[in-house]
Structure 1
Amino acid sequence: MTLGLLAAIAATFSWSLLFIFPQLVGDYSVFDLAVVSYAFAGVGSAIVLFVYRREVRQLRLNDWAWAALLGFLGYIGFFFLITTAVLAAGPVIPPVMMGSVPIVLAITANLRSSSIPWRAIAGPLVMAALGIGVVNYSAFNASGAMVDRPTGSILFGLLASLVAIAFWTGFGLFNESALAQRPKMSPMLWSAMLIFSCAVEMLVFIPVGLYLELSNFAIQPGEVAGTQALIISGMVQGLGATLAAAWAWSVATRRLPLALSGQLIASETLYATALGLLITQRWPSTAEAVGTGMLFIGVVWAIQAFYSRQSRIKSMAD
């Protein structure tokens, strides 16, 4: 279980970098960053597949179909939905709603598997939910996200955000099932399959992004500042926050109940908040400090609840 916890922490820390890199790429857009990062991730995953070429030859079409589905749910489709939501509803409402993903995933996972009694998980869930709510309300209240947005556009953005939540919840549940059905498959190979499928799907998504004018480079070729930062950020994001994080999450998924790993996703908010404050060179507001503190308590509480249950089960077995 300890290795699973360390893997989940590594994955969520890597994912938190995704909130930081868009601020470092100059005039390039999030879409430009995604294209570059998936190019690096595709190359990296192809190298891993070559290393595992003997196992790759034994893969069935069903294995690749699941990898493609999960890549679409957890990465490409999720990215498209969040991008659509931000364009429609503004830059604050969708992230506020996405803060509910750890709670939804933890509740859904425990409904399915009953890995821990509800009385043991209720406290950590409520504490983490309140912490996320306080942080997100603070961000929402400070930015005036509703200004100059038609009601229809906001409602469409809310709908896209809800579908994105469903996508990531489905990814967590299906990924756990897929790994359970392939107990002998290396998590590194599975992650490489998933990310390689993402890279291929990104090629299909590029024309959609260009049609929606999401690329600043395509709109203003030769006039966009920050190319070096884009390449470096894309490389770190593609190889670290995408490929390596997918591998770490596969390890965590195989070793932890999803009801726990789902709550651990909430720690991503802690890392992202800390890194954001570091980049902006400011101290947290009172609401940010209180909210992140409550979130931290909820995550630690959840880990303690699962460890206690595991110890009791072990004692009964002995």
Structure 2
Amino acid sequence: MQAGTTPRHTAGTSAGILAGLASGALWGLSFVAPRMASGFAAMDVTAGRFITYGLVALGMMAWGLHTRRLPTLRQFLAALLLSLLGFTGYYLLLVLAIRDMGVAMPALIIGTIPVWVMLLGKPRGLRWAALLPGLVLTVAGLLLMADVPSAGQGGAGQELHFWRGLALACGALVSWTAFALFNAAWLKRHPEVRATEWANWLGVATGLGGLVLWLLAGTPAAELAATPGIAFFLLLCLAIGFGSSWLATILWNIASQRLSASLCGQLIVSETLFALVYSFAWDGHWPAPAQWAASVLFTLGILASIKAHR
């Protein structure tokens, strides 16, 4: 233990790390969900997840209204903006990317968020040269993985889908990186707001965004209800709306309150690793050698970044 570090501080840091890892495990489910609901439009998957999140959050707010306060207008506007960056807009881009290029590559691209959060939220006193090993390893893993989706696939149409998916995944990367930085900064400035409160406020804002998305571009209710597999789709929306959204957001807020933005960002690697595990389990096969190698390089890159941060 370093000088000046109290047991309470150490316990708080450990709890923050565990909360961040748990949120990553829950977020990993959202990567494989579009594959599981392949018979439904990307917009419906996105809207279903976030409308469910909004309903859960609204129910929790109503249940504890006598002990919890409502957000001010300024707080709700902040929640609305952050919900667009970290939930509705981000996940729509991600779902579209997964439809174009599968799970593995978008998962690895999103997995570089820890590096970007570290670069943009670098603590003072940390040398840029210390970050170089992690960056090199991560980029090497991504370059190796980039060849996997196109292996054995010819044709200009499929190539177009790959590059379009790559652009969408990068857009999702930018969106969530901004959310991670702004959300952590907001929570640090408002320690009086509890993690559950902020998750509920974000949830209501996200639910409104999901409803707007569905009304503008979603499948009409009657047509959606007649789609084969609708019962499974609704259960899936409940699982990712409650687990991958509401519960994961509470855990992430706990991590954001107890850890620095750059250290907190490193924990997002658990989302990528769980997403890959869930994807391979769903497909029923082991990763290809290139995928193994890319995952190892990627993980080593994150570990190098964590070491540099310490």
**One fold, TM greater than 0.5?**
yes
RMSD: 3.1
2:275 aligns with: 272
Deviations 1:295-317 (A, max 9, x none): 222333444444xx3xxxxxxxx
2:48 aligns with: 36
Q: Is 1:116 the equivalent of 2:130?
A: no
CA distance in 1, matches of 2:154, 2:54: 35
Q: Is 1:231 the equivalent of 2:243?
A: no
Structure 1 residues 84 and 167: CA distance shift in structure 2, 3 A = same
Is the 1:187–1:250 contact (alpha carbons within 8 Å) kept by the matching residues of 2? Answer: yes
Q: Is 1:67 the equivalent of 2:113?
A: no
Deviation (angstroms), 1:16: 0.8
Structure 1 residues 54 and 179: CA distance shift in structure 2, 3 A = farther
TM-score relative to the length of structure 2: 0.82
Partner SS, residue 148 of structure 2: helix
Deviation (angstroms), 1:84: 5.8
Is the 1:103–1:129 contact (alpha carbons within 8 Å) kept by the matching residues of 2? Answer: no
2:195 aligns with: 187
Is the 2:45–2:237 contact (alpha carbons within 8 Å) kept by the matching residues of 1? Answer: yes
Q: Is 1:140 the equivalent of 2:149?
A: yes
Q: Is 1:248 the equivalent of 2:251?
A: yes
1:23 aligns with: 35
Q: 1:282 aligns with which of 281, 285, 288?
A: 285
Partner SS, residue 291 of structure 1: helix
Deviation (angstroms), 1:239: 0.4
Q: Percent identity?
A: 24
Is the 2:56–2:246 contact (alpha carbons within 8 Å) kept by the matching residues of 1? Answer: yes
Structure 1 residues 273 and 218: CA distance shift in structure 2, 3 A = same
Deviations 1:262-286 (A, max 9, x none): 2322332211111211222212111
Amino acid at match of 2:277: A
Is the 1:24–1:229 contact (alpha carbons within 8 Å) kept by the matching residues of 2? Answer: no
Amino acid at match of 1:239: F
Partner SS, residue 140 of structure 1: coil
Is the 1:71–1:197 contact (alpha carbons within 8 Å) kept by the matching residues of 2? Answer: yes
CA distance in 2, matches of 1:80, 1:21: 12
Is the 1:71–1:198 contact (alpha carbons within 8 Å) kept by the matching residues of 2? Answer: yes
Deviation (angstroms), 1:83: 5.2
* 1:166-185 aligned within 5 A: 166-185=174-193
2:3 aligns with: none
Is the 1:92–1:139 contact (alpha carbons within 8 Å) kept by the matching residues of 2? Answer: no
Amino acid at match of 1:49: M
Aligned residues: 296
Structure 1 residues 250 and 159: CA distance shift in structure 2, 3 A = same
Q: 2:139 aligns with which of 113, 129, 132?
A: 129
Is the 1:92–1:145 contact (alpha carbons within 8 Å) kept by the matching residues of 2? Answer: no
Is the 2:28–2:275 contact (alpha carbons within 8 Å) kept by the matching residues of 1? Answer: yes
Is the 1:267–1:296 contact (alpha carbons within 8 Å) kept by the matching residues of 2? Answer: no
2:19 aligns with: 7
CA distance in 2, matches of 1:256, 1:118: 21
CA distance in 1, matches of 2:223, 2:70: 46
TM-score relative to the length of structure 1: 0.80
Structure 1 residues 133 and 53: CA distance shift in structure 2, 3 A = farther
